[in-house]
Homo-oligomer: A and B are copies of this chain.
Amino acid sequence: MTEDLLKRRSIRKFKENDVPDTLLNELFTAAFQSSTTGNMQLYSVIVTRDKRKKEELAPAHFNQPAYANAPIILTFCADFNRFTRWCEQRNATPGYGNAESLICAILDTTIAAQTFCVAAERKGLGICYLGTTTYNPKEIAKVLNLPKLVVPIVTLSVGYPDENPPVSDRLPIDGIVHYETYKDYTPERIDEIFQGKEALQENKKFVKENGKENLAQVFTDVRYSKKDMEFFSQKLRDFIREQEFR
């Protein structure tokens, strides 16, 4: 009963067919039934289908192919705006412009987004998470007209798959699961856990193409460098503060 989850993979190339609104709504209904903090449902979703709007949003996602050829883009936002407006309108005093509230909303948002993905994949759709969302939240907010107390967290490309990529490798389970307490990793354990990944032909090729000594250096020097992560951290922090989460 978990077969579909085991053989899933992200899709970055989509057919041109649109996803009908009836199907989208069924998937949203399923997604929104997931767990949510105190049943507050601290999220909103923006559907991008309009060609002009999609082009306007493209630079915020670095024009990546997984964005460009999807018929539908969904931006799942942590949203304390709606709930706060309700409180204010009911003579209740909301206090949600803070870190704890934001983390609750981020969890609600991500839980709903992931349930959407599971439901979508079961219906034959393909999805891809775009990591660019937390790199360029301000640019996204501008295009989508997000008010204060709303922060884009997850962007999904959604559509019918036009490719059939292999299932991605993953670390061994016992390298991730700990019993009773966290057993910190010895150098020997690190070698054991990562050796499968390092031995993959495609990863060896990746190292060579990037002119690096090993796979870890591809991550630290190319894909997720200290400099980039610190740059995007500053942007993210500034934006979160602008959105009045302090």
Contacts and interface: CB of A to CB of B under 8 A. Distances in A.
A41 B170 contact: yes
A92 B131 contact: no
- Contact residue range for chain A? 35 or more
A210 to B, nearest CB: 12
A211 interface: no
A33 B5 contact: yes
A129 B112 CA distance: 13
A12 to B, nearest CB: 12
Contacts of A69: none
Contacts of A98: 229-230, 233
Interface string A34-56: 11011111011111111001000
A119 B6 CA distance: 10
A30 B46 contact: no
Contacts of A176: 28, 32, 41, 43-45
A107 to B, nearest CB: 6
A44 B178 CA distance: 7
Contacts of A144: 181-182
Contacts of A85: 185, 187, 190
B180 A47 contact: yes
A35 B85 CA distance: 33
Interface in A85-130: 85-87, 89-96, 98-101, 103-104, 106-107, 110-111, 113-115, 117-119, 122-123, 127-129
Interface of A: 1-2, 5-8, 10, 25-35, 37-41, 43-50, 53, 77, 81-83, 85-87, 89-96, 98-101, 103-104, 106-107, 110-111, 113-115, 117-119, 122-123, 127-129, 131, 134-135, 143-147, 150, 153-154, 167-171, 173, 175-182, 184-185, 187, 190-191, 193-194, 213-217, 219-221, 223-227, 229-230, 232-233, 236-237
23 contacts: A25-B173, A34-B117, A35-B114, A40-B224, A44-B176, A45-B178, A47-B178, A47-B180, A48-B180, A86-B216, A90-B217, A91-B214, A92-B214, A92-B216, A95-B230, A96-B226, A100-B134, A106-B107, A107-B110, A107-B129, A110-B110, A143-B181, A144-B182
Given A40-B219, A92-B216, 7 more contacts: A2-B123, A28-B177, A33-B170, A47-B179, A89-B187, A92-B221, A98-B233
